[in-house]
């Protein structure tokens, strides 16, 4: 009899997942943060050119509609925030096409939460507290906080706020990363992503939570640009042992700016001949209605479980990975 019916993780790790989920729910209950659920299927999808998504057909005779499996619950959660929900969190499944490997499964579990009235530093404090609780038996070193520019210059000698195509090309050639020139072209953001992932990220968070903040404005995503320095954005990323765990923002509340960013990303998708995305106009309308000042973060729970269990691959913490589902 073929053993391919068996789970890809152990029963002990299934129990660990249940324990972590219970601890997360208690953490937010103690802080009066409301648990919510939002749809996995939607009429719109994020426009980020670096994300591929799944579609399906909704058959409502005699019509057929294309629906999207969500890559994040962010847009729907922000609509709840605009409707007056107060601080909220969600633990749920999300889907990203074309992602499979040691740290990726096309279906994975995301923890996402938003704290009304929180600045980004306040959110970073709460992230550190939550991670400290989960890793209390692992003796993590003290949480590290470092600016993107500081760590980028320290490890590469390049200034991420000043785009020099010649300097970036010379650096990657020196490192033997010749493919970067063709991949990145003259796109500053792509260059930063490439160099950061290869030459910075692997050295972040040695047995410690490392919070990298103050990303360049060309990587603003859904975050506000800093009022103190328009070259920077109010964004933080989380790393432990070189593994990226999550992304957080002081959330953009300007509907016009959000709409402009959506249109800019759609233009990039069209230029790169990527699958057409449908802009979430309901989110834009919610922002027009008024999003409260808030900060939010999304953390990949499967990667978190990998670290908690010293697992080498994401499939070791999933009941059934994509190859056995």
The proportion of the chain whose per-residue pLDDT surpasses 90, expressed as a percent, equals: 90
pLDDT band at 1 (very low <50, low <70, confident <90, very high): low
> Is the predicted pLDDT of residue 284 greater than 70, yes or no?
yes
Q: What is the pLDDT of residue 291?
A: 97
Region 304-322: what's the mean pLDDT? 95
Q: What is the pLDDT of residues 240-252, one digit of tens each?
A: 999 999 999 999 9
Mean pLDDT, the chain, as a whole number? 95
Three-state secondary structure of 64-117: EEEEEECCCCHHHHHHHHHCCCCCEEEEEEEECECCCCCCCCCEEEEEEEEEEC
Q: What is the pLDDT of residues 187-244, one digit of tens each?
A: 999 999 999 999 999 999 999 999 999 999 998 888 999 999 999 999 999 999 999 9
Rg of the chain over Cα atoms, rounded to whole angstroms, equals 20
Q: What is the pLDDT of residue 63?
A: 85
Burial 42-54 (b: 16+ CB within 10 A, else e): bebbbbbbebbbb
The HSE-up count of residue 165 (CA atoms within 13 Å, CB side) is 7
Q: What is the pLDDT of residue 171?
A: 96
| CB atoms near residue 156 (< 10 Å) | 19
3-state secondary structure of 300: strand
Parse the chain into domains and list their residue ranges. 11-140+255-317, 143-202
> Is the predicted pLDDT of residue 79 greater than 90, yes or no?
yes
Q: What is the pLDDT of residue 101?
A: 87
> Is the predicted pLDDT of residue 61 greater than 80, yes or no?
no
CATH class assigned to 11-140+255-317: alpha beta
- Strands 294-300 and 243-250 turn out to be antiparallel
Whole-number Cα distances in Å, 197 to 49, 75, 241: 17, 26, 13
Distance CA 41, CA 44 (A): 9
The pTM is what? Answer: 0.94
Q: What is the pLDDT of residue 46?
A: 93
Please report, to the nearest 10 degrees, the dihedral formed by the alpha carbons of residues 54, 249, 39, 52 taken in order.
0
Distance CA 309, CA 300 (A): 15
Q: What is the pLDDT of residue 306?
A: 97
Burial of residue 196 (CB within 10 Å: 0-12, 13-18, 19+) is buried
Region 101-130: what's the mean pLDDT? 97
The backbone region for 152, taken as left when phi is positive above 0, alpha when psi lies in -120 to 50, beta otherwise, is alpha
pLDDT band at 134 (very low <50, low <70, confident <90, very high): very high
Please report, to the nearest 10 degrees, the dihedral formed by the alpha carbons of residues 60, 61, 66, 67 taken in order.
10
Region 303-314: what's the mean pLDDT? 96
pLDDT band at 144 (very low <50, low <70, confident <90, very high): very high
Distance CA 124, CA 120 (A): 6
CB distance 70 to 40 below 8 Å: yes
Write the DSSP symbol of residue 256: H
Please report, to the nearest 10 degrees, the dihedral formed by the alpha carbons of residues 180, 266, 50, 292 taken in order.
130
Region 114-129: what's the mean pLDDT? 98
Burial of residue 178 (CB within 10 Å: 0-12, 13-18, 19+) is exposed
């Amino acid at each position: 009899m073929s053993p391919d019916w068996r789970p890809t993780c152990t029963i002990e790790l299934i129990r660990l997942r249940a324990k972590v989920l219970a601890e997360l729910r208690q953490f937010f209950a103690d802080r009066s943060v409301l648990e919510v659920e939002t749809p996995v299927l939607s009429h719109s999808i994020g426009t980020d050119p670096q994300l591929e998504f799944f579609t399906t057909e909704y058959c409502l005779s005699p019509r057929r509609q294309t629906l999207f499996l969500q890559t994040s619950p962010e847009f729907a959660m922000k609509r709840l925030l605009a409707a007056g929900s107060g601080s909220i969190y969600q633990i749920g499944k999300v889907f990203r096409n074309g992602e499979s490997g040691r740290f990726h499964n096309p279906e994975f579990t995301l923890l996402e939460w938003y704290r009304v009235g929180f600045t980004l530093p306040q959110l970073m404090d709460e992230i550190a507290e939550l991670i400290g609780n989960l890793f209390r038996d692992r003796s993590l070193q003290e949480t590290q906080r470092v600016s993107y520019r500081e760590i980028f210059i320290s490890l590469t000698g390049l200034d991420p706020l000043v785009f020099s195509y010649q300097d970036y090309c010379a650096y990657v050639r020196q490192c033997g990363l010749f493919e970067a020139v063709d991949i990145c072209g003259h796109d500053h953001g792509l260059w930063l992503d490439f160099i950061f992932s290869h030459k910075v990220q692997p050295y972040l968070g040695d047995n410690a939570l490392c919070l990298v903040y103050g990303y360049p404005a060309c990587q603003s995503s859904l975050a506000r640009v800093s009022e103190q320095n328009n070259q920077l954005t109010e964004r933080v990323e989380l790393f432990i042992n070189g593994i990226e765990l999550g992304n957080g923002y002081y959330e953009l509340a300007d509907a016009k700016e959000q709409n402009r960013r959506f249109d800019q990303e759609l233009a990039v998708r069209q230029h790169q001949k990527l699958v057409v995305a449908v802009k979430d106009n309901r989110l834009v309308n919610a922002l027009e209605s008024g999003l409260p000042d808030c900060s939010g973060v999304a953390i990949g729970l499967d990667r978190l479980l990998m670290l908690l269990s010293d697992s080498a691959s994401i499939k070791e913490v999933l009941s059934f990975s994509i190859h056995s589902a």
